[in-house]
Chain A
Amino acid sequence: MHMADALIVPAVAGTMYVASTLAAGKSVKEVRLENDTKKIPLMGVMGAFVFATQMINFTIPGTGSSGHLCGGMMLSALLGPYAGFLTMIGVLLVQCLFFADGGLLALGCNIWNMAFYGCFVGALLIWRPMMKKGITKGKIVAASMLGCILTLQLGAFSVCLETFISGVTELPFAVFVATMQPIHLAIGAVEGLITSAVLVFVHEARPELLWGTTQSEEGKLSFGKTIGVLAVLAALIGGILSLFASSFPDGLEWSIARITGDTELEAAGGAYDVFASIQEKTSFLPDYAFSGSDSAAGTTVSGIAGALIVLGVCVLASYAFRFFKNNKKTVTVNEQD
């Protein structure tokens, strides 16, 4: 579910960075309020633990395939939502920088899609209310399964929304969602099984390590309220989904309509136009485009020829720069000798 930089536009990336920064700010404040210096190394080691366990392949019963862990729900069940969220940010940053798994600009989106839902929704709306009256194995399994499935569904939906708003795919939103959600339902179920197996083990071996065992009285949301919040969330998502689905009834019809003369901007209304105008504003020179120009082919040929010339000059200049730098360093070393 890690989004690449290529799948988003700067406006979406910036918005998601702001949203994730707000959640991170709240988390930093909460962790600081705990004033527990022991927690920082614990968060670091737990982040490394989640990263390491992501490398383990778990055989999915009844299939020939295997799944792996994402870790958001597990981290929040062990560290709490705030410390868990900050730890997940660290894990996502490591994945982005060292393994190109997710982009640097898309980090805000990835934090929101994977860490925010996994830690905040998973811990505050599911784990804590369910564990309020004591932890049992059954509750752990139920919370893990529900948490992982729901948070992955929310994350997958956000991926579709962010990609669609960015306008990088011609795939109709409804088709994109219909493809993403079932896949992540299966992934969420597997993650839920792994998370519940691990948390049940921890519950049997060291129950005090689970978050919520000592602060059950502090739970502010009752089960009823939780169901209410989830219902509102579901209604909201359903509403947005149906809105977009009605705008784009069928991908084939859409593409035929486009061939018969409709332009891209005229292809959709409502939210699409709003976000398209945002994207247009972030586009520095929208007229410098391949399509819609009589001299498109000519411009392209000139562009490619120019590209080759400039790249050639750039390569030569870079080699020259490196040669002089290395030469200068050698001279300096010799002088020191």
Chain B
Amino acid sequence: MSKINQAIYEIQKLDAMAKEDRWMNNLHPLVKLVLTIYYITLTVSFHKYQVEGLLAMCIYPVACFIIGELSIRDALHRLRIVLPLVCIVGVLNPFFDRTPVGAFGGLMITGGMISMLTLMIKGVLTVFASYILIATTSVEGICYAFRLVHVPKIMVTQFLLIYRYMTVLLEETKRMTQAYALRAPGQRGIHISAWGSMVGQLLLRSMDRAQEVYESMCLRGFTGEFPQGKPKKQSRGDVGYLLFWLVLLFVLRTYPVFALIGGLFV
């Protein structure tokens, strides 16, 4: 699948998933946004040698994947961008930090190995947390949450517009690149002689489209901001869900819960 097709597919899939009628999808978007940021903050705050602590944080994504009926395969697919970057940064840690911290069989475990591992775990967990948010919350819901935390209307509106016109312009870009590829068989990418004219044409068309969009919006009464629609009330379930995770994640972050439980059995 081409890069553009892949992007369109992913956007449409996430959009469809977020619109499904499931328990997690129906939670208040602000609750999910706050929890996601809280979870990511706690996860990245672990010290580079705290592997056990990070393992405790796996509870949140595991529970959300099951309750939200989310696909782990799709989430793993999202790691293709983050994990290589994290690996590049972390892969040299074992060479520079050779402080011995323990032994496993005959193999000496060094601080660098542990810090590389924690970095990778953090990378995976934080990507999963973002995925849980976007797979269970529509963009409109996220924009509504942004407004509740007083993100300026102008930023929210243009974010929503980017999202709405993204697939339109991706389709247009796909048609243009396909047409180019058919006229230049065997050529990888766009030749330098066509850089300006091709992207420039797309740019001019986009600007004309923006004018048409603006006129259409004016005809529907646009005065510089979108109406926010009916406000969604927070239910007791929303508050309970939020409090439950706030407390549990704080406890997991603060106390060595896993070690204490493990100590009872080992």
Binds B, one of A32-40, A118-126, A232-240: A32-40
B19 on the A face (CB < 8 A): no
Interchain CB contact under 8 A, B206 and A46: yes
Interchain CB contact under 8 A, B259 and A303: yes
Binds B, one of A1-9, A148-156, A215-223: A1-9
Interchain CB contact under 8 A, A66 and B162: no
Residue of A with least CB distance to B187: A59
Interchain CB contact under 8 A, B188 and A59: yes
Residue of A with least CB distance to B51: A290
Q: Which residues of A contact B7 (CB under 8 A)?
A: 55, 99
Cβ distance B64 to chain A, nearest Cβ, rounded Å: 8
Binary per-residue interface labels of chain B (162-194) against chain A in the complex, 1 for a CB within 8 Å, 0 otherwise = 111110111011000100000000011111100
Interchain CB contact under 8 A, B66 and A200: no
Q: Which residues of A contact B210 (CB under 8 A)?
A: 41-42, 44-46
Number of interface residues of B (CB under 8 A): 126
Q: Which residues of B contact A64 (CB under 8 A)?
A: 188
From A59, A288, A302, contact of B189 by CB (8 A): A59
Report A47-81 residues with CB < 8 Å from chain B CB.
47-49, 51-53, 55-59, 61, 64, 66, 69, 78
A317 to B47, CA, bound (A): 29
Interchain CB contact under 8 A, A303 and B114: no
A114 to B124, CA, bound (A): 24
Provide the main secondary structure of the chain A interface. helix
Interface centre among B46, B58, B62, B130 (most CB of A within 10 A): B130
Q: Which residues of A contact B170 (CB under 8 A)?
A: 51-52, 55
Residue of B with least CB distance to A104: B130
Q: Which residues of B contact A66 (CB under 8 A)?
A: 188-189
Interchain CB contact under 8 A, A304 and B173: no
Cβ distance B136 to chain A, nearest Cβ, rounded Å: 12
Binary per-residue interface labels of chain B (43-79) against chain A in the complex, 1 for a CB within 8 Å, 0 otherwise = 1111111111101101100110011010000000011
A52 to B49, CA, bound (A): 41
A314 to B11, CA, bound (A): 30
From B50, B92, B222, contact of A170 by CB (8 A): B92
Interchain CB contact under 8 A, A86 and B154: yes
B112 on the A face (CB < 8 A): yes
Residues of A within 8 A of B (CB): 2, 4-10, 13, 24, 28, 31-32, 37-38, 40-49, 51-53, 55-59, 61, 64, 66, 69, 78, 86-87, 89-91, 93-94, 96-101, 103-105, 163, 167-172, 193-194, 197-198, 200-202, 205-206, 209, 251, 254-255, 258-259, 263-264, 282-286, 288-292, 296-297, 299-307, 309-311, 314-315, 317-319, 321-322, 325, 329
